[in-house]
């Protein structure tokens, strides 16, 4: 971690506010024709053409969303962008621009900010989005990052949360629970390190779930896959707080209930074995863990054949009438277990 | 201040993350047709019509931008919106939507957040902007607010910082220095209070400058006034960091120099008398104090007659060739004093 005050590191005050933003952002280039005015004016100017503007914001706070004891700053910058792009993808829109606000304690040198911005730059490049604005300030303690992401999309392509009808199929991308178990491993090894700094952390073999936690990806690819399949989801949301709570959001907005089949929940074998190792129920990790940034969506039952064998998608349940409620159908027993929003809650986690 | 843990106050955890956002935002209504989807989905959807999208973000941190010892939370919410709308106004655009991100320590009860949102609501109503998104999280300490403002405007009306030509006139709205002197009074009385909590603060008679500091307004009215006068500024910026540093920004972007006449800088009589009382140079307060949120712009010399006697505007100088540099012309002596960006700098103020 770049937090000490070794003499070769540069204090933020060496640059001043304007110089700092310029220094951190001058290497960024632009990918989108819609970016007309960027950093350096009072505001950015975006040309939406004939499209709608989709905009979202997420804030990440040190000690709540991340622990700098085991989250590298570059990964943090990358992830902060990704979680916002995931929200744009969940509207079935194409992300185009981001704005980055940072409040950061003076204990961080300029080199720490450079690391964060290196992660932001990597995400911008990977997802072809332009950094068009932001603000950087000192804070009395800790690090808070707030990112706003903008996407453009034609009206007819945008997918909200309120279009699900009873009998629609519930589909999820990728696999779930990995990010949560990656976090458990990081926390376990960090605790070991704090107890005995000479112990080597045992991270080997956990690569997939550590990457799901530290360097998640936004499923901006799903939009194109669905278009090629000729499918427009009836509702869509990203899995940031856990499958259970996302299903309840769709239920709330679409006025339907859901049946989720435990045996259908897609999980990687490493996720399952790590859950077993930690005495956790793998399905509960997928349902309540969160931070997977996969997409959860519903489709008309007429589209079943188009999607049934597609490797990127898993049908995990279906919508029912609202008065039938939201239930997990347990593996084997078919017992109905009420879904609840245990989703990762920043205010309770403290 | 609503920071104690009196039993009648509600801990944030009583609501949980989703419930809290819903609780805080459910009373907000919408003023703009361009707001199509608001809070409650993964992202907001804005219909720009045929206009460009202007977007800016600003972050305010406790202990850096405000001291909760003397800044009421409602004022803080109001001001956080205003500083962003000021940036939109400085592009000569009409603000339409905002997104609010808050990182807040658990020491604040729900009632404190309600106060902040009451201020945000007041600003939304006053400026006819819609709250369309945001994120609220706990932080390990303190309060950080990050607001993103969106405006819409036709391409031909947007004013950037790079259009000033030599001989253009430099114009400022309203009067300057008041916000800075208001802060000095607040800090003086807060220090007195800390030394002796039984002393009554002496705020009487300082109303105008206290209001400039605690409840500034964004000059969104200027756009219409200029249209009625038939003037389109060649460049524009808002005065957030002090006249001196804003002039240097215009210089940098427009590749011109400036002459600023000390005797022309508009100041309220209370600003001047308070500066005298505190042994401060009033012009220096205007030039380096900041937070006035007035607009600074340049116009073609051909527009001189249209603006010369207008009560909202003061011509304070003019542009020269870049190689002639940026100088203050001192009152009386006509001595040239180099302008420098002493602007209020969050990283140096700590």
- Percentage of chain A lying above the pLDDT 90 cut: 75
Provide the pLDDT for residue A196.
Answer: 87
DSSP class of B7: T
Q: Cβ contacts (< 8 Å) between A37 and chain B: which residues?
A: 158, 160
* Helices marked H in chain A: 16-25, 73-89, 110-127, 178-195, 207-214, 222-229, 243-254, 269-277, 282-288, 304-307
Q: Which of A66, A55, A56 is nearest to A344 (CA)?
A: A66
Provide the pLDDT for residue B348.
Answer: 40
Assigned CATH topology for domain B12-157: 60s Ribosomal Protein L30; Chain: A; (3.30.1330)
- What stretch(es) of chain B map to CATH 3.30.1330.10? 12-157
Rg of chain A's alpha carbons, rounded to an integer?
21
Q: Cβ contacts (< 8 Å) between B97 and chain A: which residues?
A: 55
Mean pLDDT of B320-331: 96
Provide the pLDDT for residue A7.
Answer: 55
pLDDT tens for each residue of chain A, 350 residues long: 455 545 578 888 888 777 888 889 988 999 999 999 999 899 999 999 999 999 999 999 998 888 888 889 999 999 999 999 999 999 999 999 999 999 998 888 899 999 999 999 999 999 999 999 998 888 887 899 999 999 999 999 999 999 999 999 999 999 999 999 999 999 999 898 888 888 877 888 999 999 999 999 999 999 999 999 999 999 999 999 999 999 999 999 999 999 999 999 999 999 999 999 999 999 999 999 999 999 999 999 999 999 999 999 999 999 999 999 999 999 989 899 999 876 444 444 33
* Helices marked H in chain B: 16-25, 73-89, 110-127, 178-195, 207-214, 222-229, 243-254, 269-277, 282-288, 304-307
- What stretch(es) of chain A map to CATH 3.30.1330.10? 12-155
Closest chain A C-alpha to B195 CA, distance in angstroms? 22
The pLDDT-based confidence of B277 (bands split at 50, 70, 90) is: very high
Strands (E), B27-164: 35-37, 44-46, 52-61, 94-105, 130-139, 143-153
In CATH, what number does B169-338 get?
3.90.650.10
Instruction: Say yes or no for a CB contact (<8 Å) between B57 and A160.
Output: no
Q: Cβ contacts (< 8 Å) between A48 and chain B: which residues?
A: 48, 52-53
Instruction: Say yes or no for a CB contact (<8 Å) between A41 and B253.
Output: yes
Q: Which of B101, B94, B96 is nearest to B80 (CA)?
A: B101
Q: Does domain A12-155 sit in CATH 3.30.1330.10?
A: yes
The position carrying tokens 């709250």 is B131
CA dist A144 and A141 (Å) reads 9
The position carrying tokens 């730059």 is A121
Cβ–Cβ contacts within 10 Å for residue B68, how many? 17
Average predicted confidence (pLDDT) for chain B: 91
- What stretch(es) of chain A map to CATH 3.90.650.10? 169-338
Per-residue model confidence as pLDDT tens digits over B27-76? 899 999 999 999 989 999 999 999 999 999 999 998 888 888 888 999 99
Q: Cβ contacts (< 8 Å) between A158 and chain B: which residues?
A: 37, 45
What is the interface pTM, i.e. ipTM, of the complex?
A: 0.90
Please determine, for residue B120, whether its predicted confidence score (pLDDT) is greater than 60. yes
Per-residue model confidence as pLDDT tens digits over B178-220? 999 999 999 999 898 888 888 877 888 999 999 999 999 999 9
Torsion region of B60: left, alpha or beta (phi above 0 gives left; psi -120 to 50 gives alpha): beta
Contact A285, A175 (CB under 8 A): no
Of A238, A341, A348, the CB nearest to B13: A348
The pLDDT-based confidence of B345 (bands split at 50, 70, 90) is: very low
CA dist A296 and A319 (Å) reads 13
Of A53, A91, A132, the CB nearest to B42: A91
């Amino acid at each position: 971690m770049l937090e000490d005050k070794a003499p070769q590191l540069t204090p933020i005050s060496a640059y001043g506010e304007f110089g700092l933003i310029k220094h951190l952002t001058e290497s960024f280039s632009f990918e989108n024709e819609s970016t007309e005015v960027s950093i350096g004016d009072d505001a950015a100017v975006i040309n939406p053409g004939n499209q709608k503007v989709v905009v979202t914001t997420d804030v990440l706070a040190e000690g709540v969303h991340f622990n700098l004891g085991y989250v590298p700053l570059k990964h943090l910058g990358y992830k902060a962008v990704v979680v916002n792009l995931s929200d744009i993808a969940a509207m079935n829109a194409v992300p185009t621009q981001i704005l980055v606000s940072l409040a950061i304690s003076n204990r961080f040198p300029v080199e720490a900010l450079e690391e964060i911005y290196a992660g932001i730059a990597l995400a911008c490049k990977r997802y072809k989005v332009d950094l068009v604005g932001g603000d950087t300030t000192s804070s009395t303690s800790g690090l808070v990052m707030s990112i706003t992401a903008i996407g453009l999309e034609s009206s007819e392509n945008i997918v909200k949360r309120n279009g699900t009808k009873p009998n629609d199929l519930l589909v999820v991308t990728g696999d779930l629970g990995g990010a949560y178990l990656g976090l458990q491993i990081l926390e376990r090894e960090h605790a070991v390190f704090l107890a005995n700094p000479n112990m080597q952390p045992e991270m080997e073999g956990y690569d997939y779930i550590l990457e799901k936690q530290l360097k998640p990806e936004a499923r901006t690819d799903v939009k194109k896959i669905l278009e090629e399949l000729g499918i427009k989801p009836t509702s869509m949301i990203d899995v940031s707080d856990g499958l259970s709570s996302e299903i309840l959001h769709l239920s709330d907005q679409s006025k339907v209930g859901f049946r989720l089949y435990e045996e259908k929940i897609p999980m990687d074998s490493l996720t399952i074995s790590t859950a077993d190792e930690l005495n956790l129920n793998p399905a509960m990790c997928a349902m309540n863990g969160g931070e997977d940034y996969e997409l959860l969506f519903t489709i008309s039952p007429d589209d079943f054949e188009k999607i049934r064998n597609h490797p990127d998608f898993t049908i995990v349940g279906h919508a029912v009438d609202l008065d039938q409620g939201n239930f997990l159908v347990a593996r084997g027993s078919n017992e109905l277990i009420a879904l609840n929003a245990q989703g990762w809650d920043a205010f309770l986690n403290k």
